[in-house]
Structure 1
Amino acid sequence: MSMNSLIINTLKPLGVPVKLLKHKGPEPTYISFFEYNQNGALHGDDQELKSGHYFQVDIFSKSDYTDLVQQVKDKLKAIGFTRTFETEFYEKDTDFYHKVIRFNFVQ
């Protein structure tokens, strides 16, 4: 299973659209994500033994998304992701609250 499929399948039960890179639709709450870095995480005998994958998950909502943010973190941590960064914004032009969470995953 690809990393993208793993994230989509893990977050799908939350009941909001989950899309790679961008979402087009009328939903008042949605999740998008992308991989912003990938590199060797473990090497041995001049070979890459494990890869590090670094993802940003963006949660957009017109209302309070506190519970959804926690559910996203819990679901991704449960399958081995580690949270490395988190911040939030208010997007004036679209009237969305925007939570940014970055994770890494070693495979």
Structure 2
Amino acid sequence: MNYKKLIKDALTPLGIPVEFQKYSGTSSVYITFFCYNEQGEAWAENDEIATGYYVQVDIWSKSDYSTLEEQVLGAMQDAGFYRKTSQDFYEEDTKIYHKAMRFVYVV
């Protein structure tokens, strides 16, 4: 299962740069993501039959990202992810608003 491709395919249509782990472009609004946990979710006869991919999707913006937040949530849910948690941050050192959204995908 290629969760990176699944996430990029889900979020790229939003028209915002989407990168795995870090972004090095010049856009003032962008999305990064990473997997913070990958674990077995179900077993049969000592074989893993379901894997959970726990991912964090981060929205970075110099201004209000509320509309983009709703779009990301919808796109991830449409791709089969379930939201676990979300947090709002403001990064003082870079003066960037940051939304961290955590999802799980079990396959």
Q: Is the 8 A contact 2:6 2:79 kept in 1?
A: no
* Aligned residue pair count: 107
Moved over 6 A (4+): none
CA positional deviation for 1:94? 1.0
- 1:11-90 aligned within 5 A: 11-90=11-90
CA positional deviation for 1:93? 1.2
- Structure 1: where are the runs of 5+ without partners? none
- Could you tell me the TM-score, scaled by structure 2's length? 0.97
- Could you tell me the TM-score, scaled by structure 1's length? 0.97
- Structure 2: where are the runs of 5+ without partners? none
Measured in 1, the distance between the counterparts of 2:14 and 2:79 equals 15
CA positional deviation for 1:15? 0.6
Considering only aligned residues, what root-mean-square deviation do their CA atoms show, in Å? 0.9
Opposite residue 99 of structure 1, the aligned amino acid is K
- Structure 1 counterpart SS, 2:26: coil
